[in-house]
Amino acid sequence: MKYAELAGLGMIALKSNLTQLGKPYKLTFSITYSCQSRCLTCNIWQIRPTGELDLREIEEFSRKNSYFKWIEITGGEPFLRPDVVDIVRAFKDNSKGLYLLTMPTNSLCNHDMVVRKIKEILELGIPKVSITISLDGYRDLHDRIRGIPGNFDKAMLMAKSLKELQSRYGNLFFVFGYTMSKFNEGMLIKTVGEVQKELPWVTFNDFHVNSGQTSEIYYKNSGTQISPQKTLQSSELREFIRRRKFDLGTIPVIENAFLRKLENYIETGKPPMKGRSLDASLFLDSYGNVFPSIMWGRKIGNIRDVDYELMKLWHNSEAEEARRLIAQGKAPEGWTACEAYQTIVGNIGSLIR
């Protein structure tokens, strides 16, 4: 069954190279803005959210929009929602072609609870579940950037537990998520080395790297300066790429293409290819607002106002104007994995260049 689902994702990704899609295949969904971190690079933790979509509403949305192949559940910290497994189950039950679920964690929730819920998610039968463990430096550095003493050690414990789960669940994939910023400038290679002292099995392939960026609607950090010095960031990224091993797995192939284009983005400050927002993908926040991406606060509507039927918003005047601006290269798109992965598979030539 999982091969049929992979084929379904592959076919729609191929189609997105040739024409505009009628419906998106990727949903990025922030299920809560609650977060226990105190990150220097992100201000989500300052929000005290009220009025977020409840489970009944999410189940209704998943039932009426059953075409997603790839769902990214994010936050805040997703595991702060006690119903996170039920949320995932709703999408699994309704999107029959769902192939890939991605989720981050800061490792700050009760460890045993998170591991238990990840196990429950794995047992739902989604062909590929990818967990990203946030890690922005070696022990002292990570704890300082994240603002929580002991966070590094909790991330190490989470990795050990996921490694053990991986031996029993073939659908689990996990990496450390590292965001380059002015706060950890030049420390990427050292961080990998320090993690390897704790976890000898870790390689450079076990790290996903992003460049720190700003977003009014997602990171809530507009107007802040978080980027490291450009030349140093580029050279550090090149060295990181050089140390990665060749891997033909679907996710590693896309990740390698993402990293190559990330170097280009760092050098130019411009997205290296046309985005696929409001075509292959969208961003849904925890209040039901629909945006083209996590990087662009141009709201096209709220699912509560259209009885949770996304297609009632998909071609409204706001959406069509946003698409026009995207086509003209006027959309404020960055280059972060939430948006870049579907852009890469929608420009398939990037995988071989």
pLDDT of the residue at 1: 46
Per-residue pLDDT of the chain (353 residues; tens, 9 = 90+): 454 554 555 555 555 444 566 899 999 999 999 999 999 999 999 999 999 999 999 999 999 999 999 999 999 999 999 999 999 999 999 999 999 999 999 999 999 999 999 999 999 999 999 999 999 999 999 999 999 999 999 999 999 999 999 999 999 999 999 999 999 999 999 999 999 999 999 999 999 999 888 788 888 887 778 887 887 888 999 999 999 997 766 667 778 888 888 888 788 877 777 777 899 999 999 999 999 998 899 999 999 999 999 999 999 999 999 999 988 888 876 777 677 677 776 665 544 44
Rounded Cα–Cα distance for residues 26 and 13 (Å): 10
pLDDT of the residue at 295: 87
Distances, alpha carbon 336 to alpha carbons 211, 212, 231, in Å: 7, 9, 19
- In three-state secondary structure terms, 42 is coil
Per the listing, tokens 């084929």 go with 7
pTM (two decimals): 0.89
Rounded Cα–Cα distance for residues 253 and 257 (Å): 6
pLDDT of the residue at 18: 42
Euclidean distance between the first and final Cα of the chain, in Å?
32
pLDDT of the residue at 168: 97
Max Cα-Cα span within the chain: 54
pLDDT of the residue at 185: 94
pLDDT of the residue at 12: 53
Tell me the two tokens of residue 20. 């505009």
pLDDT of the residue at 197: 98
Total domain count, the chain: 1
Q: What are the percentages of helix, strand and coil residues in the chain, rounded to 5?
A: 45, 15, 40
Its domain, for residue 254, covers: 2-351
CATH of the domain at 324: 3.20.20.70
CB atoms within 10 A of CB 56: 9
